[in-house]
Structure 1
């Protein structure tokens, strides 16, 4: 197997790992909308996966996938393998990809800590010891301005996802025939828009709480879903977003299968796609 081909397989595994995480989040959110539980975030979804039969093995696979996905996101940003360019728009997209790489790298690190603590047979508390960098920063005195600045990240991600879903611009990166895209396109659009809505709500939660937020736990997907539940017809709204997050997991699995992946990495032979 050539080095590039191996890297492509790792990147595809990364998309699949993201799909697993969002599938679990979506299922928990759907159950919560039906009154049968509480929403989950990416951390608690991994904790749930660890508790399943062969959970340690499954989490280990997800760790490899998330780490590979983080590396792929950083490569997309720094090497511009998707040709976003150096315009203002292109640099914003690449910055978002880089932040995504850091975020998924942190999630992989959290999952590794969870796996190690599980192997050491500590009951349920691996996640409680994880100190999030954003939480540390927001715990400083007079940090509300930093909160508002941090809110720009999920706001930008949310708006980008909604535009990407509405325009179906993701199609340019897919190597699938028209029959496949006939099914993939609407599901992916729904999933991207739903994830965008969730991220915009995270930004709103950050802004609203900016002057008083004591951040040992910055708001995430779980908080956004809980916020939806408190709105009029909240159960219905959360159910729709939950289905959208499941649709986003399908989009991630579709990327794992059909996305064009160009591995233009220094020191390897030639760039590779599928």
Structure 2
């Protein structure tokens, strides 16, 4: 199980590094080379490399390992003194579901389903929001979900700033320089990730208030919205570097995570 989890962290890191690099290209005016700054864009980038199909299959299998590890945490409890708490188990179950979908999209893309590719996060967000807004009480549901995503983003950023990630790493096995580097990557990466979550949540609330599904944005559209702010290209560049830093931090997790 430990091997599966570490492979999953490595795969997650690769996806975030690629997303960060694409977002950085968008920030400097290259528009990401036509790719979207989301998981689909990262898959498209991988597919264009030599042995791309093999790389995609490997990433998909690694994400399946991550899902399996999260399932084990939900069933048996996570490592640490509070790992068996109901809230921890529930969070692990939610992450398991997320990684099942992530694994499925990667393997589908590897099998030739380009509908799982670039821009898919934005299309799914529009489709799901439009469907939810048609339900009775739909705007309230979308608004509450958006607010929950905003809160989640803020929590992610605050926990990163407080270096809560240290509790899950074998910091004693690191050299002082490695600890400082890991702290820098964890803080900058976690804050950037939280900002993107919060931004997406704000757009979902806006879609609910205005009853316009198109106002909700996936990861790529959310990042591009930062570019359109005053001093936006610089803001997006900082966020892009933060997302890439989170990818490298994930590689640190693959090495030093307590499992």
SS in 2 for 1:53: coil
Alpha-carbon contact 1:43-1:107 (below 8 Å) kept: no
Trace 1:151-190 onto structure 2 (pairs within 5 A): 151-175=146-170, 176-179=173-176, 180-190=178-188
Q: Deviation at 1:247? A: 0.5
Q: Tell me the equivalent position of 1:47.
A: 44
Q: CA deviation at 1:145?
A: 2.1
Are the equivalent residues in 1 in contact too, given 2:73–2:89 (CA < 8 A)? yes
Q: Deviations over 1:75-119 (max 9, x none)?
A: 3344331344677xx72x54444322212211111111111126x
Distance 1:81 1:12 in 2: 15
CA gap 1:173/1:85 in 2 versus in 1, 3 angstroms? closer
Rounded Cα–Cα distance in structure 2 between residues aligned with 1:156 and 1:75:
27
CA RMSD in angstroms, aligned pairs only: 2.6
Q: Match of 2:230, SS?
A: coil
* Matched residue, 2:94: 99
Q: Which runs of 4+ in 1 moved over 4 A?
A: 128-134
Deviation at 1:153, TM superposition (A): 4.3
Q: Which runs of 5+ in 1 are unaligned?
A: 1-6, 119-123, 262-274
Contact 1:158 1:200 in 2 (8 A): yes
The answer to whether the 8 Å contact 1:135/1:218 transfers is no
**What is the rounded CA distance, in whole Å, between the counterparts of 2:126 and 2:65 in structure 1?**
23
CA-to-partner distance for each residue in 1:38-93, whole Å, 9 max, x for gaps?
A: 35111221122112211101000100111111222333344331344677xx72x5
Q: 1:98 to 1:157 in 2, by over 3 A?
A: farther
CA distance in 2, matches of 1:248, 1:129: 22
The structure with the greater share of residues assigned to helix is: 2
Which deviates more from structure 2 when the two are superposed, residues 29-38 or residues 170-179?
A: 170-179
Over 3 Å counting, the alpha-carbon distance change for 1:68 and 1:193 in structure 2 is same
Equivalent residue pairs, number: 246
Residue 214 of structure 1 corresponds to which residue in structure 2?
213
Matches within 5 A, 1:94-173: 94-117=89-112, 124-125=114-115, 127=117, 132=124, 135-136=127-128, 138-140=130-132, 141-142=134-135, 143-173=138-168
Post-superposition offset of 1:188: 1.2
2: CA distance, partners of 1:96 / 1:203: 19
Distance 1:139 1:58 in 2: 34
State the SS of the aligned residue for 1:158. helix
User: TM-score, normalised to structure 1's length?
Assistant: 0.80
The structure-2 alpha-carbon separation of the partners of 1:106 and 1:69, relative to structure 1 and needing over 3 Å to count, comes to same
**TM score, norm. by length of structure 2:** 0.84
CA distance in 1, matches of 2:53, 2:253: 25
Match of 1:61 among 58, 61, 78: 58
Distance in 1, matches of 2:160 and 2:7, equals 22
How far apart, CA to CA, are the structure 2 residues paired with 1:133 and 1:224? 11
Measure the CA separation in 2 of the matches of 1:41 and 1:192: 17
Q: Please give the per-residue CA displacement for 1:102-158, whole angstroms capped at 9, x wherever unaligned.
A: 12211111111111126xxxxx55548999599447414142222123224432431
Query: 1:200 & 1:167 partners in 2: Cα distance?
Result: 18
Q: Is the 8 A contact 2:169 2:258 kept in 1?
A: yes
| Unaligned 5+ runs, structure 2 | none
